[in-house]
């Protein structure tokens, strides 16, 4: 006598032990990268209102937090600098004594053997107009003039000891010119992360507070339109062809389809950036008691991995690594 139903997928969900054994995707501490903000002139860490739990670091608190991240087993840290003074060219970006470059050297000294010290390569924190590049006379962002600034910034970051440069400015040709510029100075081992599919997202809001952004207007002439999936893949293919070692999809949760598409079509590692607004939404809902914070954070990371991310930049990196370790 045959019983119905014959096919019972629930068999593989019957206990935690079975579910553990058949789970297709996992998140490991080594796959998490912690973005960190360091602000010039701070004597102690300062909270960021729209990102509860995230701070602008002083030099001292930066070192301590990076050591804690290394202890938790995260794979890397991505450093952003907030300068005291800004100008039209973003001069603080390639000043060897600029906050980002000084902090990079400090971090390499502190944790450079344990994890990969990475730096954001973009002008927006350093310009008085807040754009990711320099401006032409008509006020538009000048792609090719910006590339010269990026090469200079890349060289100062490499000299400061950065092991991996995060090219987040979305200028055409940035991977190729920076690779050439680094190689010409002997920095052939400095890795390049191309923020290939970086979308003009409303969810960057809290980050603007985190870096004290001076931007008025938007970045829609250089970041991708959120309606475009094919274009995200195109950008990733271009970055791979220009010599990127890794490509990025950003934001993460609203763009999981793009992430999957990119993962299926390039050969190099694909990372995703779970951005400030994604962080803020979960923190806000959790603070209201509307969702289980830890379960929501871990599910969000698992989902980004499942969609194809080999590693994830997330503000929860250290805490999530500690949870994963304790399991
Ligand atoms: C640009 C940059 C941004 C973020 C990372 N790099 C802001 C932007 O493009 O407007 C956003 C990160 C986040 O929101 O967490 N340097």
CA of 4 from ligand 1 middle (Å) equals 54
CA of 280 from ligand 1 middle (Å) equals 14
Instruction: Report the C-alpha gap between 117 and 129 in whole angstroms.
Output: 28
Mean pLDDT for the chain? 97
253 contact partners, CB below 8 Å, separation of at least 6: 274, 278, 300, 303, 304
Structural domain for 289, as ranges: 28-326
Q: Does residue 1 form part of some domain?
A: no
Q: Does residue 11 form part of some domain?
A: no
Q: Which residues pair with 121 in a beta bridge?
A: 167
Instruction: List, in sequence order, every beta strand (DSSP E) within 213-326.
Output: 246-250, 270-273, 311-313
Confidence of residue 285 (pLDDT cuts 50, 70, 90): very high
Q: Does residue 89 form part of some domain?
A: yes
The answer to whether 178 and 154 are in contact (CB under 8 A) is yes
Q: Does residue 16 form part of some domain?
A: no
pLDDT per position as a tens digit, 202-245: 999 999 889 988 898 999 999 999 999 999 999 999 999 999 99
Torsion of CA 162, 304, 283, 83, to 10 degrees: 20
Q: Does residue 2 form part of some domain?
A: no
Out of 168-172, 194-198, 210-214, pick the least confident. 210-214
| pLDDT at res. 31 | 98
The answer to whether 57 and 98 are in contact (CB under 8 A) is no
| pLDDT at res. 96 | 98
Q: Is 320 among the residues known to form the active site?
A: no
| pLDDT at res. 18 | 98
Q: Does residue 128 form part of some domain?
A: yes
Instruction: Report the C-alpha gap between 93 and 123 in whole angstroms.
Output: 7
Q: Please give the model's pTM, rounded to 2 decimal places.
A: 0.97
Instruction: Report the C-alpha gap between 102 and 307 in whole angstroms.
Output: 36
Q: Does residue 249 form part of some domain?
A: yes
Report the number of distinct structural domains present in the chain: 1
pLDDT higher than 70, residue 1: no
Q: Is 198 among the residues known to form the active site?
A: yes
CA of 204 from ligand 1 middle (Å) equals 6
Q: Which ligand 1 atom is the nearest neighbour of the CA of 195?
A: 6
Q: Does residue 267 form part of some domain?
A: yes
pLDDT higher than 80, residue 2: no
pLDDT per position as a tens digit, 83-93: 999 999 999 99
| pLDDT at res. 315 | 98
| pLDDT at res. 21 | 97
Kindly report the CATH number assigned to the domain that includes residue 312.
3.20.20.70
CA of 119 from ligand 1 middle (Å) equals 13
* Candidate of 275, 276, 280 to mutate for ligand 1, largest count of ligand atoms within 8 Å of Cβ: 275
| pLDDT at res. 327 | 64
Q: Which ligand 1 atom is the nearest neighbour of the CA of 203?
A: 14
**One-character DSSP codes across 19-70:** HHHH------GGGEEEEEEEETT-SS-EE-TTSTT-EEEPHHHHHHHHHHHH
Residue whose CA lies nearest to ligand 1 atom number 10: 204
pLDDT per position as a tens digit, 234-282: 999 999 999 999 999 999 999 999 999 999 999 999 999 999 999 999 9
| pLDDT at res. 3 | 87
pLDDT per position as a tens digit, 111-128: 999 999 999 999 999 999
């Amino acid at each position: 006598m045959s019983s119905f139903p014959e096919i019972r997928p629930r068999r593989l969900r019957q206990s935690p032990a079975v579910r553990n054994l058949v789970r297709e995707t996992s998140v490991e501490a080594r796959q998490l990268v912690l973005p960190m903000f360091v602000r010039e002139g701070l004597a102690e860490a300062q909270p960021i209102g729209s990102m509860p739990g995230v701070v602008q670091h002083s030099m001292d608190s930066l070192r301590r937090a990076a050591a804690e991240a290394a202890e938790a087993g995260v794979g890397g840290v991505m450093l952003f600098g907030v300068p005291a003074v800004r100008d039209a060219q973003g001069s603080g970006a390639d000043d060897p004594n600029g906050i980002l470059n000084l902090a990079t050297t400090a971090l390499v000294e502190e944790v450079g053997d344990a994890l990969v010290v990475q730096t954001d390569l973009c002008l927006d924190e350093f310009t008085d107009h807040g754009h990711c590049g320099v401006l032409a006379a008509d006020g538009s962002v000048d792609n090719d003039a910006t590339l010269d600034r990026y090469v200079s910034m890349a060289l100062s970051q490499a000299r400061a000891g950065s092991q991996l440069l995060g090219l987040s400015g979305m200028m055409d040709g940035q991977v190729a010119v920076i690779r050439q510029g680094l190689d010409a100075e002997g920095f052939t081992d400095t890795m390049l992360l191309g923020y290939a599919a970086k979308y003009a997202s409303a969810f960057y809001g809290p980050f603007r507070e985190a870096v004290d952004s001076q931007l008025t207007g938007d970045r829609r002439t250089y970041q991708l339109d959120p309606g475009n999936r094919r274009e995200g893949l195109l950008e990733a293919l271009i970055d791979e062809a220009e010599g990127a070692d890794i490509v990025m999809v950003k934001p993460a949760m609203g763009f999981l389809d793009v992430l999957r598409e990119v993962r299926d079509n390039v050969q190099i590692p694909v990372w995703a950036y779970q951005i400030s607004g994604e962080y803020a939404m979960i923190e806000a809902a959790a603070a209201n008691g509307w969702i289980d914070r830890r379960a929501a954070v871990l599910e969000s990371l698992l989902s980004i991995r499942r969609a194809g991310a080999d590693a994830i930049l997330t503000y929860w990196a250290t805490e999530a690594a500690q949870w994963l370790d304790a399991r």
